[in-house]
A = this chain, B = another copy of it.
Amino acid sequence: MINDKAYALGTNRSCIRDLFEYGRARAAIVGPENVYDYSLGNPSIPAPDYVNQTIRDVLAEMDSLTVHGYTSSLGDMATRVAIAADLNHRYDAGVRPEDLFISCGAAPALCAVFSALAVPGAEILAIAPYFPEYKPFAESAGAIFKVVPPDVPGFQIDLAAVEAALTPHTQAIILNSPNNPSGVVYTEETLSSLGKLLLKKGEEYGHPIYIVADEPYRELTYGCTAPFIPKIYPHTIVCYSYSKSLSLPGERIGYVYVPQQAADSAALFAAVAGAARAAGHVCAPSLWQKVIARCTHLRPDLQSYDRNRRTLLDALTAMGYEMARPDGAFYLFIKAPGGDAAAFSEKAKERDLLIVPGDSFGCPGYFRICYCVSYEMIRKSLPIFAELIQNA
């Protein structure tokens, strides 16, 4: 008498999480310095000192009932004002505080948006390679989850493939740029071509097709900027998290932005709030709302990520590995030597090198590494990468 799907999701855990737990267990046996764990995107840059100082300031300056009390379920107005001001400063985007819903990170934000869009028969498209949790999120919301094949080897967006996947039931397409797992940043050109296609098909179908922009990596770019998608395509709903930009993944603080110019924006915003309510959202963690209100100007210190990125890119390319152009996030998505990513990953695992096969991202034949790790670990792991490609 237990729900099958919930049980399955609780027992068939994500292969990434499994690998991460395996890494912890191995570390206990062989020592953490001998496990080369590239499995999980847990930031290796600490949160800026300013964040912890702001916590202390908030505790010192504000009364406890305000700091820890319920906020409006939509979020503290001061937090919404600060986030809107920062977005407008950066993107001149016309964001109003009332367009922002403060969420417990990006994951429940996505779930609420999918639920808000889950009319009967609704289809949600993802573009391979994609973050695997999109599938349970969309399906649990009651939508049909469909995958657009990858645009190999550049990992931009194959427009013909998108067009082939669109139907009158398509409610949204989820984009993740900078991308997990490919590290690719979708270009302005890619996004505006996609926007044109979606506008055309939306007119044809008589209803808008939304872009859901999952943007936890927005600020993690190297030598380029991730375009702010609502400026390119009006029917864009942004789901954001401070997990990566401020290295606060465990703290669960982010937002949904429903732009005024998006079709049915007021109803959509209400539905997002309603869907969140139905999932037990009361408010985002209150102390963190106060802290974020004072920290929207902070940007990640990307130096160490960039050193890792360049070190791996140069070394692995020299060894003969091929990969997508890693302009953002903290991932490399690499073609598996020999073509079988699962087999290659298993061999790597035997050497305590933990990498994630691309199959779970909808893109077999590739594997993902997260380079948000110590430089020392990278340095020590390179000979294993060399050995693995030689023996492949």
Contacts and interface: CB of A to CB of B under 8 A. Distances in A.
Q: Which of A72, A268, A285, A288 has the most C-beta atoms of chain B within 10 angstroms of its own C-beta?
A: A285
A44 B64 contact: no
Given A9-B274, A56-B56, A64-B46, A117 B3 contact: yes
Contact of A2 (B4, B109, B117, B283): B117
Interface string A1-45: 111111111110000010001000000000000000000101110
A2 B142 CA distance: 13
A249 interface: yes
A70 B249 CA distance: 5
Contact of A11 (B1, B9, B270): B270
A7 B270 contact: yes
Nearest to A120: B3
Nearest to A283: B250
Interface in A353-385: none
B69 A43 contact: yes
A248 interface: yes
Identical chains in the assembly: 2
A157 interface: no
Interface string A35-61: 000001011101100011001100100
A279 to B, nearest CB: 5
Contact of A44 (B65, B171, B264, B286): B65
Nearest to A288: B285
Q: Which of A8, A117, A271 has the most C-beta atoms of chain B within 10 angstroms of its own C-beta?
A: A271
Interface stretch (A86-94, A100-108, A296-304, A327-335): A100-108
A273 interface: yes
Contacts of A270: 7, 10-11
Interface in A264-314: 264, 267-275, 277-289
A203 interface: no
A137 B280 contact: yes
Contact of A136 (B17, B117, B171, B278): B278
Contacts of A55: 55, 59, 287
A200 interface: no
Contacts of A107: 280-282
A207 B56 CA distance: 51
3 closest Cβ pairs, A-B complex: A250-B286, A10-B274, A9-B274
Interface of A: 1-11, 17, 21, 40, 42-44, 46-47, 51-52, 55-56, 59, 63-65, 67-73, 104-105, 107-112, 115-119, 122, 133, 136-137, 139-140, 142, 171, 207-208, 247-252, 264, 267-275, 277-289
